[in-house]
Amino acid sequence: MNVIYAPRLGIRFELRRAETDLLEFDVVGRSRGFITQYHVHARQSERFEVIEGTLRLVVDGREHLLGPGEAMEVPAGTPHRQLAGDERAGRVRVQVRPAGRTREFIELLAGMRLNRWGYPRLREAIALARFRESRPALPRISSREYVFVDEWDVAAPRESVFAAIADARSYPAWWKPVYREVESDGEPAVGSESRQHFKGRLPYHLRTRSRITRFEPTQAIGAEVEGDLRGTGLWTLTETAGGGTHVRFDWRVHADRRLLRLLTPALRPALRWNHAWAIARAREGLEPYARAAAARVPTTAR
């Protein structure tokens, strides 16, 4: 059996069958990083069968939780993402029809230079975008719209994580060097507004205004955004088994600034890479900030 290791993605591929019309392999481990993001195979279908553990399969926006012995097929041209259903490592058997260049794609994944969170650097991101078997762009989305879903665990209490995310005025303190300035009308609540100035790795500054549309303490906060970016963002927090916090950020925006409108068709991979870099900075800063905030709270107040 041919085994291809991809440690930065948290998995290994065990190739079982390789034919013209079928490639079958097991994905073993707990996937992480960009491989868990939405993608679409234009000409291939995929069948996922859980052998061990659980699989959270999101197909065209609908989520399915599969356990051992359960299987599901994703038709060609359907946007989907697959994630571990719990904190354990698992084994999922995947069948790709026709095989196409899938094995070459797996070898490309395994040989890529990824950061410690499992996301590619700019050169690798462009190489992935040029590979035709799988692509990150979703169908039925306009050329200037971006859809991102990011998830990670934070070793800090949910109350302190929520407080940091809900109050955008704290962003320059922990989301460095992305957020430069944030002004707000007051404490976070439904209807309150804030104004942000931020910058990623690409050479442009962005300014936005956001209004909170959903405010559920310790659980969820959503906002509408206007300015150089226009769209919606939703943070969802759940408590992990160890007392930490699982963070999910759904970010759906249009690029309204003229420079971004011009860049989007040609540099979509670079703009997605820019988002991944910004989220990596959030991962770095949120946990120590939230842990420090929790430590300052008197024990009797917890």
At residue 199, does pLDDT exceed 80?
yes
At 273 the pLDDT is 79
SS3 147: strand
Phi and psi at 211, nearest 5°, equal -130, 130
At 98 the pLDDT is 94
SS3 256: coil
At 80 the pLDDT is 86
The residue among 281 and 254 whose pLDDT is bigger is 281
pLDDT tens for 214-237 read 999 999 999 999 988 888 999 999
At 167 the pLDDT is 96
Kindly give the residue spans of alpha helices, DSSP state H, lying in 77-184.
102-111, 122-130, 158-166, 171-174
Amino acid at 1: M
Q: Does 2-130 match 145-301 in CATH topology? A: no
The residue among 120 and 75 whose pLDDT is bigger is 75
Amino acid at 80: H
Architecture of domain 2-130: Sandwich (2.60)
Q: What is the mean pLDDT of residues 179-191?
A: 94
Handedness of CA 60, 62, 66, 69 (dihedral sign): negative
Phi and psi at 287, nearest 5°, equal -65, -55
pLDDT tens for 137-158 read 333 334 456 788 899 999 999 9
Q: What is the mean pLDDT of residues 249-277?
A: 69
Residue 164 CB contacts under 8 Å (≥ 6 apart), including other chains = 170, 174, 286, 289, 290, 293
Kindly give the residue spans of alpha helices, DSSP state H, lying in the chain.
102-111, 122-130, 158-166, 171-174, 258-296
Contact call for residues 44 and 23 (beta carbons, < 8 A): no
Within a 10 A sphere around the Cβ of 211, how many other Cβ atoms? 15
Question: What length does the chain have?
Answer: 302
Q: What is the mean pLDDT of residues 155-180?
A: 97
pLDDT tens for 10-66 read 999 999 999 999 999 999 999 988 788 777 888 899 999 999 999 999 887 788 999
At 240 the pLDDT is 94
CATH of domain 145-301: 3.30.530.20
Each domain of the chain, given as residue ranges in start order, spans: 2-130, 145-301
pLDDT tens for 74-94 read 998 888 889 888 888 999 999
- C-alpha distances out from residue 9 to 13, 67, 107, 128, 277, Å: 11, 21, 13, 15, 16
Q: Which residue has the tokens 């306009």?
A: 142
